[in-house]
Amino acid sequence: MAPHFQGGEISHAQATLDVKEHAMGKREDYAAQQLQAVATMTERYEQEKAGG
Protein backbone atom coordinates (compact mmCIF):
# COMPACT_ATOMS: atom_id res chain seq x y z
CA MET A 1 0.00 0.00 0.00
CA ALA A 2 1.32 3.46 -0.82
CA PRO A 3 2.58 5.39 2.23
CA HIS A 4 0.18 8.23 1.45
CA PHE A 5 -2.78 5.99 2.27
CA GLN A 6 -1.37 4.33 5.40
CA GLY A 7 -2.84 5.23 8.78
CA GLY A 8 -1.41 7.33 11.54
CA GLU A 9 -1.73 10.90 12.67
CA ILE A 10 0.92 12.08 10.23
CA SER A 11 1.41 9.85 7.22
CA HIS A 12 4.84 8.64 6.18
CA ALA A 13 4.41 10.56 2.95
CA GLN A 14 3.62 13.81 4.79
CA ALA A 15 6.55 13.32 7.15
CA THR A 16 8.83 12.77 4.16
CA LEU A 17 7.53 15.89 2.45
CA ASP A 18 7.98 17.91 5.65
CA VAL A 19 11.58 16.76 6.01
CA LYS A 20 12.26 17.56 2.36
CA GLU A 21 10.88 21.08 2.81
CA HIS A 22 12.98 21.58 5.94
CA ALA A 23 16.13 20.39 4.16
CA MET A 24 15.49 22.61 1.16
CA GLY A 25 15.13 25.59 3.50
CA LYS A 26 18.44 24.82 5.19
CA ARG A 27 20.29 24.26 1.92
CA GLU A 28 20.67 27.98 1.19
CA ASP A 29 22.09 28.66 4.66
CA TYR A 30 24.58 25.83 4.39
CA ALA A 31 25.62 26.87 0.89
CA ALA A 32 26.23 30.43 2.07
CA GLN A 33 28.34 29.18 4.99
CA GLN A 34 30.39 26.98 2.67
CA LEU A 35 30.97 29.83 0.22
CA GLN A 36 32.08 32.09 3.08
CA ALA A 37 34.51 29.43 4.30
CA VAL A 38 35.96 29.03 0.81
CA ALA A 39 36.34 32.82 0.46
CA THR A 40 38.10 33.04 3.84
CA MET A 41 40.54 30.25 3.01
CA THR A 42 41.19 31.67 -0.46
CA GLU A 43 42.03 35.03 1.11
CA ARG A 44 44.40 33.36 3.60
CA TYR A 45 46.06 31.41 0.82
CA GLU A 46 46.58 34.55 -1.26
CA GLN A 47 48.14 36.31 1.75
CA GLU A 48 50.49 33.38 2.33
CA LYS A 49 51.46 33.34 -1.35
CA ALA A 50 52.25 37.05 -1.17
CA GLY A 51 54.49 36.40 1.83
CA GLY A 52 52.23 38.07 4.37
**Weakly modelled stretches of the chain, pLDDT under 70:** 1-8, 52
Give the burial string for 29-50 (b: 16+ CB within 10 Å, else e).
eeeeeeeeeeeeeeeeeeeeee
Q: pTM for the whole thing?
A: 0.54
Euclidean distance between CA atoms 40 and 51, whole angstroms:
17
Euclidean distance between CA atoms 26 and 45, whole angstroms:
29
Q: Note the pLDDT of residue 14.
A: 86
